C-alpha cells in the first residue's frame, strides 16, 4: 500500500525531500470548465473589464509561477513553460493548462493551479452578469516524467 509522502512518521505535515532525486523533464496538463449561460457568453466580447478569456489566460500563467506560494508544501519550481488555452463552448468556457520543467519533482500542482485560477478569473470578470456561474471539472489530464512515469486520464467524452 502506498503511503502519503507529505506526512512524517508521526503524522505531521512535511515538505518532501527531493534532494536525492534526479532531475528529469516533467510536463503536466490540467483542465477546468466554467459553466456560463449562453446569454452571458454572448456578452463576453463586450466586457467593460477587458477580454475575460485573455485576462484568464494571463492569470493562469502567473498562478502557475506562484504555486509554491499558494500551496504550502509545494516545491518552488523554475518553469520552462506555462500556458493556458481558453475557449468558448456552447455551455461555457473550457480551460486547458500546461506546465513544464526539468526538476526532481513534478508540475501537476502548477498545471492545476493555472487551470483553477484561470477559471476563477473568468468568474470574477463575468460575475456582474450572472452569480450562478459554476466552476466544474478541475482535474489533471496528464503528466509525464519522473519515477512514476506517464499518467493520462481516460476521456469520458
Query: What are the C-alpha distances in Å from 74 to residues 6, 17, 40, 65, 110?
Result: 10, 11, 36, 12, 9
Is 130 annotated as catalytic?
no
- Cell, residue 29: 496538463
Choose the catalytic residue: 17, 83, 124, 130: 124
Please compute Rg for the chain using Cα positions: 17
> CA 122 to CA 92: how far, in whole Å?
10
> CA 67 to CA 43: how far, in whole Å?
31
DSSP letter for each residue of 75-94: PP---SEEEEEEEEETTEEE
Residues designated catalytic: 124
Amino acid at each position: 500500500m502506498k503511503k502519503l509522502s507529505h506526512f512524517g512518521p508521526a503524522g505531521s505535515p512535511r515538505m518532501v525531500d527531493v534532494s536525492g532525486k534526479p532531475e528529469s523533464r516533467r510536463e503536466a496538463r490540467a483542465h477546468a470548465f466554467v459553466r456560463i449561460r449562453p446569454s452571458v457568453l454572448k456578452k463576453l466580447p463586450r466586457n467593460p473589464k477587458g477580454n475575460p478569456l485573455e485576462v484568464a489566460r494571463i492569470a493562469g500563467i502567473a498562478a502557475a509561477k506562484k504555486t509554491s506560494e499558494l500551496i504550502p508544501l509545494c516545491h518552488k519550481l523554475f518553469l520552462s513553460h506555462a500556458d493556458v488555452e481558453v475557449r468558448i463552448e456552447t455551455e461555457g468556457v473550457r480551460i486547458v493548462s500546461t506546465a513544464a520543467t526539468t526538476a526532481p519533482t513534478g508540475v501537476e500542482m502548477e498545471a492545476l493551479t493555472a487551470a483553477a485560477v484561470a477559471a476563477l478569473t473568468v468568474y470574477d470578470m463575468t460575475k456582474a452578469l450572472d452569480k450562478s456561474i459554476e466552476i466544474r471539472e478541475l482535474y489533471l489530464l496528464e503528466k509525464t516524467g519522473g519515477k512514476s512515469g506517464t499518467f493520462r486520464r481516460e476521456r469520458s467524452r
